[in-house]
Structure 1
Amino acid sequence: MDFWQQLGTTIVGAFAGAGAALVTGFWVRTNEAKTKERAALNGLLLDLQLKRAFAPTTPQCVDAAAETLDYKQCRDSVYDSRKLIRDVRLQLRPKSKAFDHLASMSAACNTYLHSARVQPDTYQNLLEALSASLDEQAKKLGVLKGVEYRRPGSFAYSSPNPQLPASE
């Protein structure tokens, strides 16, 4: 080979190698972002699954509910859930299919907090409606690849892992 052939081969090889490195880097970053998003969504659904406020109950009207400890704990749990949803929403990739579902979950929490403040005696009925709304969105999230559906409140009083006793 003469000098110009060697130079041409070297330049083409360098550009091909750089191009391959760029494509590989983009692919790795995309997969890492997808994995991070799935982990965040699965973590959120697990956190909601363990919330006592969303556990199925028979709702009752409670006189002077705003003064009860249960009312305050449920309100705080909904505030915490809204924060968890927001934290996960911030971890989503741009144009994620999960964004609208998380926005609906946040809106449902806001609706509960407003309604419970206006009508505290009906907070248990409002919690049941909130739980149903969160469950509807959780089902839609569970359809996404790599995300496992978990019903909010379903493991509030038991272990999500059948091998572990409920006390752990």
Structure 2
Amino acid sequence: MEIADAAIKDDYKRAGLSVVDIRERVRQTVDQVQPNSRAQAYLSKMMASCHHYLADSDASPNSYAFHLAELQRNLHEAVRGVASSVSGIYAGEPGSLAHSKH
């Protein structure tokens, strides 16, 4: 899915800022998790996925929506990995906890 002139659109910029924020929050989590935790590998994968999105969307801004969908899949896969290795973490489908106002 291509979005013409994406690099000059607010949505593209907001997506990039959101991914930078996600990457920073994951980095902060890495700092709080025990070095030998099984979650570390999944957290590293999350950070790498964010980095890849930023690099790929910078290289081809008009394809950023495709790269966002790929990032969502990669992040969710990593969250499922963390949930399978750490007790007390629920890995619902993206958007599954959203509430309707109706």
Aligned-partner residue type, residue 139 of structure 1: R
Deviation of the 1:147 alpha carbon: 1.4
Structure 1 moving runs of 4+ over 2 Å: none
- 2:92 corresponds in structure 1 to 150
Structure 1: stretches of 5+ with no match in the other structure:
1-59, 160-164
RMSD: 1.7
Distance of aligned partners of 1:67 and 1:108 in 2 relative to their CA distance in 1, 3 Å threshold = same
Deviations 1:143-167 (A, max 9, x none): 1212111334x158x33xxxxx649
Residue of structure 1 in register with 2:50 after alignment:
109
Residue 119 of structure 1: aligned partner: 60
2: CA distance between counterparts of 1:137 and 1:151? 12
- Equivalent position of 1:93 in the other structure: 34
Taking structure 2 as the reference length, what is the TM-score of the superposition? 0.90
How far residue 94 of structure 1 moved from its aligned partner, in angstroms, is 2.5
Matched residues, number: 101
Could you tell me the percent identity over the aligned residues? 28
2:90 is the counterpart of 1:141: no
Deviations along 1:65-121, one digit per CA (max 9) or x if unpaired, are 000000001111100000110011100012011000000000000000000001000
Counterpart of 1:90 in 2: which secondary structure? helix
Q: Does 1:71 align with 2:71?
A: no
